[in-house]
Chains A and B, each alone.
Chain A
Amino acid sequence: MLRQFGTNEFLFILTAARWTVLLSLIAFAGGAIGGLIVALSRVSSLKALSLTAGGFIQVFQGTPLLMQLFLVFFGATTLGFDTNPWIAAAVALTLNASAFLGEIWRGCIQAVPKGQWEAAGALGLHYPATMRYIILPQAFKIALPPTVGFLVQLIKATSLAAIIGFTEVTRAGQIINNATFRPFVVFGIVAAIYFILCWPLSHLSMRLERRFAAATTR
């Protein structure tokens, strides 16, 4: 028997959006830490470290996120870990975000002019101090627009976690649709929720980019 689509069904979908937000935040926070490590490894003069980071990036950029989710989820079970969709989704998205943010930030670090390294070196500053006080603050400004842009991608990517059974907003939509069979209304609402989450960020990213362009063309 089909259920009617009413307020309760709508609220079910809406409240599931908090899991989308939470998963996005966890993946972003984890990806930020991982991404910084990947980026710093990538620009390191230690060949082994740089190549390892490069390989990590290639693997995660060259395979679909869905496969990464499957491999983490089913892989953990195969290895004997009792995993749940929550942890699997958080781990897979964190690794994925680490690779992408690492690559974005590598470019930003390398976009800081070489003269900055030379000036710091000539003043006697060592690598860690140069990175921390000179290079990263400048790279951060360059990185802000693409990083916010990536956060938008990440929020949308969390929808794939629905497939391994994690009840975020997309899966909530599927559940309601199975009961009400009003796919257009249901997935329209789901899409609208993603849009409401992402649009302000896209807008912010564009504004940051314009501000950055204005600051650097002078």
Chain B
Amino acid sequence: MSTALQAQHVRDEIIIRMENVQKWYGSFHVLKDINLEVRTGERIVICGPSGSGKSTLIRCINHLEHAQEGRIVVDRIELGASSRNLDAIRREVGMVFQQFNLFPHLTVLQNCMLAPMKVRGTSKSEAEATARKYLERVRIPEQADKYPAQLSGGQQQRVAIARALCMNPKIMLFDEPTSALDPEMVKEVLDTMVNLAEEGMTMICVTHEMGFARQVADRIIFMDRGEIVEEGTPDTFFTNPRHERTRNFLGQILSH
């Protein structure tokens, strides 16, 4: 079976391109010559030991972190010196964080309505309709008027997903979305992400959930010490990893 045969949902158009990206924290080299192309509709899972640069990599895509060298082009927009391009990029890229980062002083509905109103200039009624639609989609419409602290971790993360979707992004970044959750809540968040994948969203997920990776990913990328060590389809990645470091990592996380 040829790996060139791409799944139907992946289109030819390249939506994210990273070329020779380098990043240092002081003298610590976090990202070493990263090259990555993501196609529209593609779902990518990034895994690797902690401190390997996975989160830093996806945070460079929406410029929460700045790479010192290399090019990053998102939806044909390259971040030059202009902050206008940064705005354009952030409008296309939604992000979900490990710690949810919901706004605690706003209700669930207000969390979802704020950015569309203040960034896109959407009217209040339209923003509310959109917010309710996505809360419905993540299956918590009844929580709309509660505050984040009144919800469980799983519910909060689903609100965070809905909040990002309200901006109608073309790409969704997930930074270890289930790592801060109690085990019984992991599934509800993963289910939401699977639904999103089925709808054709371009997704890059940093996660240790290998079941999710197997089920959803078009491509799995393994990172270690700031490098992309190996990438491949779930089939080849799990059954036939090429690198020693990948085998060690898989041995550790799949052994129990």
User: A6: CB under 8 A from chain B?
Assistant: no
| Distance of A118 Cα from B64 Cα, bound (Å) | 7
Q: Which A residue sits closest to B90, measured CB to CB? A: A124
| Distance of A118 Cα from B56 Cα, bound (Å) | 13
| Distance of A115 Cα from B176 Cα, bound (Å) | 14
Comparing A24-32, A80-88, A103-111, A131-139, the segment that makes contact with chain B is: A131-139
Residue from B99, B105, B119 within 8 A of A123 (CB atoms): B119
Chain B residues within an 8 Å CB radius of A218:
149
Known A-B contacts A122-B64, A134-B103; the reply to A129 vs B97 at CB < 8 A is no
User: A116: CB under 8 A from chain B?
Assistant: yes
| B: interface residue count bin | 20 to 34
Q: Which B residue sits closest to A121, measured CB to CB? A: B64
Majority-rule SS of B interface residues: mixed
Scan B151-178; emit 1 where CB is below 8 A from any A CB, else 0.
0000000001001100100000000000
How far is the CB of B79 from the nearest CB of chain A, in Å?
13
| Distance of A122 Cα from B92 Cα, bound (Å) | 10
Contact B101 A116 (CB under 8 A): yes
| Distance of A37 Cα from B94 Cα, bound (Å) | 33
How far is the CB of A202 from the nearest CB of chain B, in Å?
26
Contact A124 B101 (CB under 8 A): no
Contact B149 A123 (CB under 8 A): no
User: A125: CB under 8 A from chain B?
Assistant: yes
Majority-rule SS of A interface residues: helix
Chain B residues within an 8 Å CB radius of A59:
none
Scan A136-163; emit 1 where CB is below 8 A from any B CB, else 0.
0110010000000000000000000000
Instruction: Give residues of chain B (5-38) contacting chain A, Cβ–Cβ below 8 Å.
Output: none
Residue from A115, A120, A122, A125 within 8 A of B99 (CB atoms): A115
Contact A125 B105 (CB under 8 A): no
Chain B residues within an 8 Å CB radius of A51:
none
Q: Which B residue sits closest to A119, measured CB to CB? A: B101
Q: Which A residue sits closest to B93, measured CB to CB? A: A122
Contact A119 B103 (CB under 8 A): yes
Chain A residues within an 8 Å CB radius of B114:
123, 125, 133
> Contact residues of B with A, CB < 8 Å?
62, 64, 87, 90-91, 93-95, 97, 99, 101-105, 114-115, 118-119, 149, 160, 163-164, 167
> Contact residues of A with B, CB < 8 Å?
113, 115-116, 118-126, 129, 133-134, 137-138, 141, 218
Q: List 10 A-B contacts (CB under 8 A).
A: A118-B64, A119-B95, A121-B64, A121-B90, A122-B164, A123-B114, A124-B91, A125-B115, A129-B118, A133-B114
Known: A119-B160, A122-B62, A125-B115. 11 other contacts (CB 8 A): A120-B103, A120-B115, A122-B90, A122-B93, A123-B163, A123-B164, A123-B167, A125-B119, A126-B87, A133-B118, A218-B149
Among all A-B residue pairs, the 5 with the closest Cβ atoms? A119-B101, A123-B115, A115-B101, A122-B95, A124-B90
